[in-house]
Each structure stands twice: as C-alpha cells, then as structure tokens.
Chain A
C-alpha cells in the first residue's frame, strides 16, 4: 500500500483528463486521408501495399457511407478527407450532386476503367464490380426455367423469392436500373410482383437469404456475387454446405437481354482535398492490376479494370453479359426507387 500512495495519483488523473485536448497527430505532409464505407480485409491489405510502394501514409475513417458523407458535407472546405471510398453507385452520384467531390483527369483511369463504370466528368471512378444475381436451390429449381428479373414476378414463384429489405442499397440500385430501362410505372409493377411472391418478410443479410434457400425456404434469392464467394470460402462448415446447395444464375442474358445488373464500389477525390496528387495516385493504385487482383482474390469482386481477369472462382461461374447502362444514371432514380418500395410495401 505504501508504494501505491507514492504514485502521484492526482497529477496522473489530471494528465489523463487533459490528454484529449492535446492534438494527437503532427501534420504529416506525405499522407492521404480516406473516408470509406468499405470494411473488407482486402482493403486493409491494399492500404498497406500502397504505403509500401509509394511511401504515402494512409489514414482512414471507416463508417457508414451516408453518415460519413454527412460529416464530409458539414466539414466543408476544412475537411481533412482527400478521398471518399464507398460501395453503391447511388451514393457516388449523390456525393457528386451534393458537391462533395471534384473532377480529376487521369489518363490511366480513363484508359482502364470502362466508361459506364465511371462518372463522365471524372468525379468518381468504379474500382470493383459486383453482379446482383439470382441464386437457386439446386434441388428444386432447374436453372433452365430461370430467365430474367422480370420473370420472377410470375405466379410460379409464389412464396418463392428471398431478398433483403428495401433498405439494402443494392436492392435500391437494382430497382433504379429497372426504372432507368423501363420507366417508373413498369418498375412499380415489378416491385409489386416481387413483393407478392416473397417467401417471407425480408430479413437478414444476403448470406441469410442463401441459408434460407438451402434450408428449403423459397426457390430463388436475389443476392450479390461476392457473398456467394464468401460462403464458398467460409471457415464455417455449415456455410460451406449452404454454398454447395445453391447455384448461380445470371439473369437477362441472350441477345435481347439487357444484361445482369451490376453495381460498383468506387472512389472520388473530395472537393476540398488537401492532398490532391496523393489522392489521384491512390485511386490509380486501386485500379492497378496489383490492387485489382487483391479485390478479386480476397473479396471475390469483379475487377473494374478491363485488363484484369476475375479470380478463378469467379471465372468458374461463367462469363455473362453485363447491363452496360451508364451507372451514373441509376443515381438519379434512387429516391424514386425507395418511394416505390414504400408504396408497394416491400419493407
């Protein structure tokens, strides 16, 4: 006890209390500051790789995209963030609309990223792709009977469809793509048709839809491809079993089909970036073959760089026709999509 009393407890307490007032970081010039929504292991690998090859320090805040975008907006011209990195094209277009991003010119990005995957004026660039596909239970569905997203509204899928709730941005963008192709009226009929064929009230994640499917609930589920990849490579025995019981179907193929809906993760340089050059370097790095391989091998996403092949696993699912619509168009219809979901009761 005597030793204890010798410790200057009061001064120690004062130091601890006042510590938060002292700014922690010195002003590191050679750095790049990122606000990101992505929280995948692949990204941490890439941050490290980038620092190693370029000598530029990467600082990160990971948070939900919509909230971190609000922070970016409020911080205005004083924001420390140089890059906004997020999933879903709807968010990227919204960020551009709100004036959170600035256009950049990069010969490299323009040459390797197909034009439908980036903003026409260079405000944002897609760095990975994911397809929203139909997965089916191999025991009770013959893939030959599957064709399009639209066909899922048919009577024969009554109590047969599994998908996430309408708060999923991937469902929002899928519906936005239908609005873009066919107009709001058709899109509403589609959403209504899907809702009336729900196998259950939408709950859980994309992975949960596939688990339910494997358990014999419903016939098909609408999910993103990389979640299938995660299941296949899961350490969990039951998830592996689920993966073995389902098949992947790319809808809307064929000559008259518009192609399977794809969405992206993408990055843009913030309007008030303090490290603009570093930020451009970073996005170019994400698009480089080295980084694209990590995305596709570690996180099972399709490379956005047209010169990079998908991982072996993704290739095993087969080639497919993508919906080539300029993705920025989907952003315009996001609000309308959410309204339609609310109207038809797709909770």
Chain B
C-alpha cells in the first residue's frame, strides 16, 4: 500500500537497525574452532543458566508485577496511595548496584554476618549464587510489569468493571475473564522487556558468576579474542527473543483490545480483616527489599562519603545525566508515536511487525550494540572526511553518538508503551475524524495525541529512568571527559570502592523520583 506515512517508518527502522546489521554481519565467518571449543566446554552451562534465569525471573516478576498491580487497582485500603508510589521505586535503583549492595550486606564478613556473630550465631551462608540473582533481578525489574500493567488495569477498570458487575458478574470472574485477557498486550509487552533485560544484564551476573550468554559473549570476545564468535552468540540470544516476540504477536493476531465507554468512578472493594494484613505484608516485601534496604545502605554511605566526593564536577555530572536521559527519552517517545500511528492507520503486515524489529536493540548486550554504533559512525565519518566535508571525526565520540545509541537501545520501551496505549483506543475515532474532513496528520494531533497523552508521558518516564541507569553504551561511547551518574557509580564499584558509589546512586534515585511522582500524583497510572 503506497502512502506517505509508511516510508518514514521504514527509513527510521533501517537507520535504527543499521548498527545491529553491521554487528550481525560481523558475526558471519566465525571461527568454527572457537565455537567447537565452546560447545565442548561451557556452552551448555551458558545456555542452561540463561534459560533458568529467564524463566525464573520472568515468572517471579510476572507474579509480583501483576499481583501488586491487581491489589492496588481493584482494592482500597489505608495508605494505598503510598503503596502505589512506593511499589514503583525499586526501578530507580540500577540492578547491578542492588547486586553490589546485597553482597555488601549479606556477603561473608559483612554487616549481616557480623550482626549474627554478635548475637552468637556462627553460621555462614553464601549469597553469591544464582538464587540471589533471581531474587535481586526480580526486585529490580518487576516495576516494568507493575507500572505498565497497572496503567492498563486502570483503563479497563473504569470502562468495564461497572457494567460487568451490574450484570451480575463476581469481581473475581470479571477480573480473570475480562480484565486480565484485555491486559494481555500490556502484560506480554512488559514481560518481554523484563526478559530482554535479563538476558542482556552483565554487571550482576558477572559479579555473582552466573554464566548466562552475556558473560559468555564477553568471555569469548575478550578472553578468547574472537569477536566474531562472540557476536555469533549474541545473535543466538537475539534470535531466541525474536522468536518469542513474533510468536506472541502472531498469536495475538487481529484480536481487539479496544475499550470505549463511560469512565465512571468505580467503587473499589475495601479490604478488611486478615485479607488486609496479608495484602500489607505482600505489598511491603518488594518495597522493603527492593527499595528501603538499598536506600538505607545508600543513604548511610552517601552521608559518610559525601564530603569526599561532592566537588565542582558533581553538578556537571548531574546535569549530563538529566539532559541526556530526558532528551533521548523525548526523541524516542516522539518517534515511537509516529511509528505506532503509522501502523495503526496502515496496518499492513510489515507495519504490524515493524515495532518488533525496532525492539531488537534491547535484546543484545549493550556492549555489542556499542560496537555496531561505533562501526556505523566511523564509516559515516570516513565518508565525510574522504569527501572533504570534515577533517576529523565529527560524529564518532560525540554526544550525538551517545544519543543515537540510547535510541537504538531503548526503542523497545517506547514501542511497547505506545503500542499498548494505541491498542486501547478504537480506530473508529480516527475514521470518524477523517470523515469529518481532517487528514491523517490533523487527526493525529487532534484525536490520538490528546488520548495518548498519558501513555506518552508514561513511556517518557519509563524511558527516562531506564536511560539514566544505562551503562555499557555510555561507558564506551562517551566523549572525552564526559561523566554521568551511572558511569561514576559503575567505575567506582568496579574498582571495588563500593561505598564511594553511594552518593551517585542516591542522585540517580532522587532524579528518577521527580518524573515518577509526576505520573503517580497526577494519577496517570
């Protein structure tokens, strides 16, 4: 179908996929010897650990994320607003930092052990294992599902709960038979984000020595000096995720999840008795372990080390983090909106799957993407220099490179929030507008944009929080003397100066809190 909208999506997709294509192309012609060596020795361990981690973290985040979203959407109890807010907070703490903190608290000869000894318990246990990684990654990643699914629940609740209840359905039935299936795009989409991030996580898996494919990629690349085989492994991981995404999209097929109707206020069921206390208990667990304990740790050490680390550069670092995250989140959400709108008005086969293609950057470890980005910009730079347009590297090692890298990396989050937003708005509204004489562009601005406002704001904030924590890309692609909170945190932790990282981790949390409180106080979720 020829139209003026689709080419924009195609060009954008090509640009965003270019670095990935360059990297994949790099993988062809892998030295089979290295691959045979890996197959004979450690490959099975890599693959099985990856699968175990993905299934365990996926399952746990799903239960925790959907469970907390359900309780806070359909029930009422004291302090509910506090819980709604606090449940999102673990997202502000980078996964690897949470991993370091827990090993600092519970590791051998650390706080918890010394405490046990002081009360006469000599027993020791090792926390640096895969079970801890599952728990920590669950705590760090469930907010993806909680936030996205809750936003979806909120929308279907007001539209559907009242009519369904008035027709005599029980709350449970309405939830399981209507609202849960309707939230499928949101649930699957957010789960996909969790899975992708689990596969590409490097910091904590390395430290806890859980051999997933990502550390394997690094081992092959840097240890065996075979970047081709390493990329080959990265492609395996990417293909695994891609298959899941496509199967899901295909299964969802043409099912419709649109809702219109009265947005009447729904009376939430008041929780009482033992149910109330069980709920308090369950809701508190992720907040305590995913946020409060790390926060206490961070605050204590921030206080202890603040004077040492807060210098004239600190504000610059703060500014860098804020600006780069906000800018890339804004650009991504605008582009994702265009792409989403295009596939909405021209739902061709290509357009329906284009979002998945644009998500590919999230399935590969950041360090591998970084190589693709470097290759891309160096080639452009070389062309510019050869044609006497510039005399030295113009794009390579510039802030623009970094910005582009964030876009490639995090487009998945933009696509996911935009898609699940669009799923809920009937295309009939669009048709009606056009039948009244507005063209596609005007309709987009006058109809879809206002209806999508909350979804977009929400996506922006998720993106902002994800970007501000981003590490591998920032570390290797950044310009000279360019520091962000994440790079500072990581480099100090990596030099095993863990306590010194606290002040930077605290800054990440505080900055993330600002946008987070905006969506929550404005009741956008």
Chain A interfacial positions (CB closer than 8 Å to B): 16-17, 20-21, 23-25, 33, 39-41, 59-64, 66-68, 70-71, 74-76, 78-80, 94, 165-167, 172, 200-208, 211-212, 214-217, 227, 230, 235-236, 238, 241-242, 334-335, 338-339, 342-343, 345, 347
Contacts and interface: CB of A to CB of B under 8 A. Distances in A.
Contacts of A16: 323, 327
Interface in B36-83: 37-38, 41-42, 45
Given A39-B495, A67-B476, A204-B207, A238 B128 contact: no
B136 interface: no
Contact of A20 (B42, B107, B223, B327): B327
Given A62-B475, A66-B221, A215-B109, 4 more contacts: A39-B495, A70-B374, A71-B397, A235-B305
B124 A217 contact: yes
A152 B383 CA distance: 57
Contact of A74 (B126, B224, B374, B496): B374
Contacts of B224: 335, 338-339
A65 B448 CA distance: 47
A60 B37 CA distance: 37
B269 interface: no
Among B129, B209, B400, the one with the most A-chain Cβ atoms within 10 Å of its Cβ is B209
B223 A172 contact: yes
Interface of B: 37-38, 41-42, 45, 103, 107-111, 113-114, 124, 126, 128-129, 206-209, 211, 215, 218-219, 221-225, 227, 304-305, 323, 327, 330-331, 367, 370-371, 374-375, 378, 381-382, 385, 392-394, 396-400, 403, 472, 475-482, 487, 491-492, 494-497, 499
5 contacts: A59-B481, A67-B472, A94-B225, A167-B219, A339-B224
A343 B45 CA distance: 12
B227 A205 contact: no
Given A16-B327, A20-B403, A343-B41, A70 B227 contact: yes
B496 A23 contact: no
Contacts of A166: 219, 223
Nearest to B113: A215
A76 B378 CA distance: 9
Contacts of A165: 209
Contact of A211 (B109, B129, B211): B109
Contact of B393 (A68, A75, A167, A241): A75
Contact of A204 (B107, B225, B381): B107
Nearest to B220: A338
B124 A74 contact: no
Interface centre among A211, A342, A343 (most CB of B within 10 A): A342
Nearest to B480: A59
A309 B371 CA distance: 42
Contacts of B330: 17
A203 B114 CA distance: 20
A347 B42 contact: yes
A327 to B, nearest CB: 18
A192 to B, nearest CB: 13
B107 A211 contact: yes
A165 B205 CA distance: 12
Given A23-B398, A208-B107, A39 B370 contact: no
A211 B114 contact: no
Nearest to B401: A20
Contacts of A25: 479-480
B494 A71 contact: no
A75 B374 contact: yes
A216 B42 CA distance: 30
Given A20-B327, A67-B367, A167 B304 contact: no
Contacts of B110: 211, 238
A87 to B, nearest CB: 10
A272 to B, nearest CB: 11
Contacts of B400: 20-21
Which residue, of B128, B327, B480, has the highest number of chain A Cβ atoms within 10 A?
A: B480
Contacts of A63: 475-476, 478
> Which are the 5 A-B pairs with shortest beta-carbon distances?
A203-B128, A338-B223, A59-B480, A66-B222, A215-B108
B120 to A, nearest CB: 15
Nearest to B367: A67
A238 B109 contact: yes
Contacts of B396: 75, 78
A212 B475 CA distance: 31
Contacts of B218: 66, 167
A62 B499 CA distance: 20
B108 A78 contact: no
A36 to B, nearest CB: 10
A212 B109 contact: yes
Given A63-B476, A335-B223, A238 B111 contact: yes
Contacts of B403: 20
Contact of A217 (B108, B225, B304, B367): B108
Contacts of A211: 107-110
A142 to B, nearest CB: 22
Contacts of B475: 62-64, 67
Candidate in B38, B215, B222, B370 with the most chain A CB atoms within 10 angstroms: B222
B460 to A, nearest CB: 14
A342 B481 contact: no
A240 B482 CA distance: 34
Given A215-B109, A238-B110, A242-B109, A67 B38 contact: no
Contacts of B206: 167
B478 A23 contact: no
A44 B223 CA distance: 28
A234 to B, nearest CB: 8
B382 A339 contact: no
A261 B477 CA distance: 34
Contacts of A172: 223
B38 A342 contact: yes
A39 B398 contact: no
A194 B327 CA distance: 51
A142 B495 CA distance: 31
B327 to A, nearest CB: 7
A81 to B, nearest CB: 9
Nearest to B397: A80
B445 to A, nearest CB: 15
Contacts of A66: 218, 221-222
A215 B494 contact: no
Nearest to B208: A203
Contacts of A339: 37, 41, 224
A214 B394 CA distance: 52
Contacts of A212: 107-109, 126
Contacts of B381: 78
Nearest to B324: A20
A347 B45 contact: yes
Nearest to B491: A39
B392 to A, nearest CB: 6
